[in-house]
Amino acid sequence: MTDIQSYLQAYDHQLRTDAETPSALSVTTLGPLRLVTFAGGRGFITYQDLAGAGAAEINSLVEEALAHFVADPTISDVEWKARGHDHAPGLHEALLANGFVAGEPESIMVGPLEGLCAGVTTPDGVTLRKVTSDDDMRAMSAMADEAFGESTNTRTADALLARLARNDGMELWVAEVDGRMVSAGRLEPVPGTDFVGIWGGATLAEFRRRGIYRALTAERARSALALGKKFVHSDSTEFSRPILERSGLVKVSTTTPYEWTR
């Protein structure tokens, strides 16, 4: 894999559907769609492609997919994960018409793991470590909510704890300064592929631009290399995209979350 098109092809064939949902509690298929239920009352809709569907058929898929989750009273919110390179006529309009709200687009980044490690050192006074205990997990989740300017959501921590209990390969890493968690992120090995995903990058505002997130990303990459993985993918905000680009990852497309809340 040496160019953007090759990376995008690998992304579509190896990193969509099953690879996206290792922690699913249940999966229902609806045509080309996968309707996924996660712990904590979260619904998720994804697909490898929309099988050439036109606008009318896509509108029906949106309506039927949402009806599936509405019928389950335990589901409080649903995400439809759209990609910028998909052929999806009328999807944006259909999602809005059915009560979904478009989030900020993110860059789909793909590249070799080695680039994330090369020449990266941990800043003085910063400690990097993998966390597994309940207390650390909850502190990490609360710190991430603070970093993103959101209220503390204990449901997220509960879902992560449930995943750790299932031992599905996910790793959680934090950076600390004077014993305070200031940055965090997940590592998601993709079974049966050479890929890992790097997710959830969050750094408190006052600790950004110090090389902490880059060091934390490098530590996750080293862990992935030790597992025998070769490539990495990530949906990146504008905060993390430049860091990943400097490490050799390339933007292959965009992804936009559309959120429905009960």
- Which pLDDT tens digits describe the chain residue by residue (262 residues)? 458 999 999 999 999 988 888 888 999 999 999 999 998 899 999 999 999 999 999 999 999 999 999 999 999 999 999 999 999 999 999 999 999 999 999 999 999 999 998 889 999 999 999 999 999 999 999 999 999 888 887 888 888 888 888 888 899 999 999 999 999 999 999 988 899 999 888 999 999 999 999 999 999 999 999 999 999 999 988 877 888 888 889 999 999 999 999 9
**For the whole prediction, is pTM greater than 0.95?**
no
Query: Is residue 222 within 8 Å of residue 115, measured between CB atoms?
Result: no
DSSP strand E in the chain: where?
26-30, 33-38, 42-46, 77-83, 101-102, 106-112, 126-130, 171-177, 180-189, 195-203, 231-236, 250-261
Looking at the domain covering 4-107, what would its CATH class be? alpha beta
Looking at the domain covering 114-229, what would its CATH class be? alpha beta
Other beta carbons within 10 Å of 252: 24
Can you give the pLDDT at residue 82? 97
User: How far apart are the C-alpha atoms of 240 and 251, rounded to whole Å?
Assistant: 12
DSSP string, 163-231: HHHHT-S-EEEEEEETTEEEEEEEEEE-TTSSEEEEEEEEE-GGGTTSSHHHHHHHHHHHHHHHTT--E
3-class SS at 47? coil
How far from each other are the two terminal CA atoms of the chain, in whole angstroms?
42
Domain boundaries, the chain: 4-107, 114-229
- Measured over the CA atoms of residue 257, residue 192, residue 197 and residue 86, the dihedral's sign is negative
Can you give the pLDDT at residue 74? 95
Query: Is residue 86 within 8 Å of residue 53, measured between CB atoms?
Result: no
Q: What angle do CA 256, 49, 47 make, to 5 degrees?
A: 65
User: How far apart are the C-alpha atoms of 64 and 229, rounded to whole Å?
Assistant: 38
Structure tokens at 114: 């080695």
